[in-house]
Amino acid sequence: MAGTGTRRKGLRLSRERRVAEIMAAARAVFREKGYDEALLSEIAERAQVVEGNIYRYFDNKRDLLVKVIEDWYETMLADYDQQLSRIHGTRARLNFMIWRHLKTVHDEPSLCQLMFLHLRTWPDYSSTAVHELNREYTRRTLDIVREGIEAGELRDDVPLRLVRDMIYGCVEHRTWAYLRGEGDFDPDKVADDIVDLVLGGLARHGARSEERPDIAERLENAVARLERLSAHPDS
Amino acid sequence: MAGTGTRRKGLRLSRERRVAEIMAAARAVFREKGYDEALLSEIAERAQVVEGNIYRYFDNKRDLLVKVIEDWYETMLADYDQQLSRIHGTRARLNFMIWRHLKTVHDEPSLCQLMFLHLRTWPDYSSTAVHELNREYTRRTLDIVREGIEAGELRDDVPLRLVRDMIYGCVEHRTWAYLRGEGDFDPDKVADDIVDLVLGGLARHGARSEERPDIAERLENAVARLERLSAHPDS
DNA sequence: CAACTTAATGAACTCAATTCATTATTCCGC
DNA sequence: GCGGAATAATGAATTGAGTTCATTAAGTTG
């Protein structure tokens, strides 16, 4: 009982600080264990609080997860626009958006899984702040497409919404195995492949098939990577 | 207590029949309530068994769901090949595959949601029979693409896997809101749109070559971006 | 009809989320 | 400084679900 490293009883923090501590602990536990396996008792222990005290600040376990993801999302999207602003050209900008998403999945698989499988599926997701943030996030992609259409580079007879669904749906399916812990993937390569497929389509539209259009594509992808490098040096 | 419609005690069925009754009840309850909200007590009640008896036939709640979905999947895929065999041409066959998937989601949203959100996400999904059935299911799509490539109709420089991810990912994202109970969609129209986008791509590849930037132009643009990059790295 | 096999019961158990009456700490006006 | 309001924190109790198991009942077989 002489231990000083044990639970210091009666340590009282401001609401703000306590909330921050609980959310930090919760993020760690959720990340390690997933939603169902994450125990409030463990979160409480790591946050140095008693279990019941969490309910002063969060309605329930679910609410805690929502706030954790929300917090993560906000910091993640913070420098997004700035990075994007340095990249020019429809293809390169699309490439960046897709690559960025892939990179996020690659770096934070657990949190992404929580987002995909738990947050997004609950019936009140639409009223969440995360939903709104997510719409912002994907709206940029549609803006790029819209600009491409106005510039005459892209077809104007495709439902915009479907383009978004195709891109993000494709990313998600492509990363599914990785999220399940099976195998790995390379964000750069997958991004290139997806942009190529989305823009070019599967069919051969073939005036001259012997002329390799992919030379230009490969160069453009390379330039996109260079741009990314200057926008986000630690990629 | 004179009721004759109440639980008839001591009614004993063969293993087969009892399993069937429990699965029917489970499917109904899972469909109405989703996984978490579905109570074993309610399943037991509808199946006219006591709760504990379910554990004679199923390891746990999760196992029960797996078997329910498996059962549904099998009947669903039964007449698949036969239908497909009557359809000819790459585009039409792709269209059928996509439309069929959309139709399933449209008709059985709840079961699809269980499949997408619960089965597929659990860590041992890969060892499930449903996983194998699902691979069968999507393999047909890849066969169609492969045949299209061999016939020279489709590009041969696209990762097949990505095509599959794009198609099924797109379908899933497109139907997300519907699965959440928001709005509706038309399987016919969405299938047409998806096939069109997947085959044709987003870019305009005009017959009139003067309307699109040619390779030289695109290279010059790319180089211009590089120049911009080295001139003012944070423009 | 006796022995055996298997279906069914229902109460008990576990374990995690959640609630709440109570206690401790800090803040603030006098 | 000091008394009291506000609020952070406690820990024991409650709830509610899944799961287990010893026991009983029903059918089957020789």
What residue segments make up the domains of chain B, in order of their start?
A: 15-58, 71-200
Q: How far is the CA of B183 from the C1' of D28 (A)?
A: 56
Contacts within 8 Å (CB) and 24+ apart, B153-156: B153/A203, B153/A204, B153/B90, B154/A202, B154/A203, B154/A204, B154/B90, B154/B199, B155/A200, B155/A202, B155/A203, B155/A204
For A132-145, the pLDDT digits (tens) are 999 988 999 999 99
- Answer whether B197 sits within 8 Å of A194, measured CB to CB: no
Taking the CA atoms of B34, B35, B36 and B40 in sequence, report the sign of the dihedral they define.
Answer: positive
> Residue A154 in contact with residue A90, Cβ under 8 Å?
yes
In chain B, the percentage of residues whose pLDDT exceeds 90 is: 69
If one counts every other C-beta atom within 10 angstroms of the C-beta of residue B226, the result is 15
The residue written with tokens 């639970």 in the block is A7
Q: Which two tokens stand for residue A76?
A: 């993640």
In chain A, the percentage of residues whose pLDDT exceeds 70 is: 86
Q: What is the pLDDT of residue B10?
A: 61
Residues within 8 A of B (CB atoms), A 89-118 only: 89, 92, 113, 117
Q: How many C-alpha atoms does B145 have within 13 Å on its Cβ side?
A: 26
A88 near B CB under 8 A:
yes
Q: What is the pLDDT of residue B1?
A: 36
* pLDDT above 50: residue B96: yes
**CATH architecture of the domain with range A15-58:** Orthogonal Bundle (1.10)
Q: What is the pLDDT of residue B7?
A: 45
- Domain A71-231: give its CATH code: 1.10.357.10
Contacting residues for B73 by C-beta, under 8 A, at least 6 apart:
B115, B130, B133, B134
As a whole number, mean pLDDT of residues A89-110 equals 95
What gap in Å lies between CA A83 and CA A104, rounded to an integer?
15
* pLDDT above 90: residue B208: no
B74 near A CB under 8 A:
no
Q: Which two tokens stand for residue A89?
A: 């050209």
A174 near B CB under 8 A:
yes
Contacting residues for A134 by C-beta, under 8 A, at least 6 apart:
A73
As a whole number, mean pLDDT of residues A143-158 equals 93
* pLDDT above 90: residue A109: yes
Q: Which residues of B touch A203 (CB under 8 A)?
A: 153-155, 199-201
Distances from the Cα of A129 to the Cα of A29, A47, A125, B190, angstroms: 22, 25, 9, 29
If one counts every other C-beta atom within 10 angstroms of the C-beta of residue A14, the result is 8
Q: Which residues of A touch B170 (CB under 8 A)?
A: 162, 165-166, 169-170
What gap in Å lies between CA B190 and CA B98, rounded to an integer?
9
* pLDDT above 50: residue A161: yes
Q: Strand C contacts (CB < 7 A) among B residues 154-193?
A: none
Band (pLDDT 50/70/90 cuts) for residue A213 is low
Residue ranges near strand D (C-beta within 7 Å): A 7, 9-15, 18, 49-53, 56; B 9-12, 38-41, 51-52, 55, 60-62
Domain B71-200 is classified in which CATH homologous superfamily?
Tetracycline Repressor, domain 2 (1.10.357.10)
The closest nt to A61, taking CA to C1', is: C17
For A49-62, the pLDDT digits (tens) are 999 999 999 999 99
Q: What is the pLDDT of residue A223?
A: 73
Quote the mean pLDDT of chain B. Answer: 87
As a whole number, mean pLDDT of residues B151-162 equals 93
* pLDDT above 90: residue B233: no
Lowest mean pLDDT among A15-19, A209-213, B120-124, B155-159: A209-213
Q: Which two tokens stand for residue A194?
A: 């997806």
Distances from the Cα of B32 to the Cα of A36, B27, B35, B66, angstroms: 22, 9, 9, 16
Q: What is the pLDDT of residue A210?
A: 45
Q: What is the pLDDT of residue B224?
A: 60
What gap in Å lies between CA B68 and CA B27, rounded to an integer?
6
According to DSSP, the residues that pair with B154 across neighbouring strands are A203
Taking the CA atoms of A67, A72, A73 and A79 in sequence, report the sign of the dihedral they define.
Answer: positive
As a whole number, mean pLDDT of residues A114-136 equals 91
Q: Strand C contacts (CB < 7 A) among B residues 13-72?
A: 13-15, 18, 48-53, 56
Stated length of chain A:
235
Lowest mean pLDDT among A185-189, A207-211, B155-159: A207-211
Band (pLDDT 50/70/90 cuts) for residue B56 is very high
As a whole number, mean pLDDT of residues B38-45 equals 97
Q: How many C-alpha atoms does A103 have within 13 Å on its Cβ side?
A: 15
CA nearest to A129, candidates A205, A169, A175, A70: A70
CA nearest to A174, candidates A123, A234, A96, A99: A99
Q: What is the pLDDT of residue B203?
A: 78
Distances from the Cα of B11 to the Cα of B4, B46, B47, B56, angstroms: 13, 14, 12, 16
- Answer whether A126 sits within 8 Å of B180, measured CB to CB: yes
Q: What is the pLDDT of residue A2?
A: 35
The residue written with tokens 């040096």 in the block is A233
A81 near B CB under 8 A:
no
The closest nt to B56, taking CA to C1', is: C7
Band (pLDDT 50/70/90 cuts) for residue B222 is low
Contacting residues for B17 by C-beta, under 8 A, at least 6 apart:
none
What gap in Å lies between CA B80 and CA B83, rounded to an integer?
5
Looking at CA atoms only, how far is residue B10 from chain A in angstroms?
37
Reduced to 3 states, what is the DSSP secondary structure of residue B139? helix
| pLDDT higher at A221 or A78 | A78
Band (pLDDT 50/70/90 cuts) for residue B122 is confident
* pLDDT above 50: residue B2: no
Q: How far is the CA of B61 from the C1' of C12 (A)?
A: 20
Q: Which two tokens stand for residue B145?
A: 């693409």
**CB proximity A60–strand C (7 Å threshold):** yes
* pLDDT above 90: residue A168: yes
Indicate if B71-200 has the same CATH topology as B15-58: no
Lowest mean pLDDT among A198-212, B6-20, B61-75: A198-212
Please name the amino acid found at residue A89.
G
Quote the mean pLDDT of chain A. Answer: 87
Chain B residue closest to A91 (CA)? Answer: B203
What gap in Å lies between CA B108 and CA A70, rounded to an integer?
31
What gap in Å lies between CA B141 and CA B168, rounded to an integer?
10
What gap in Å lies between CA B193 and CA B108, rounded to an integer?
22
| pLDDT higher at A4 or B79 | B79
Rounded to 5°, the CA angle B137-B140-B145 comes to 140
B229 near A CB under 8 A:
yes
Lowest mean pLDDT among A25-29, B8-12, B227-231: B227-231
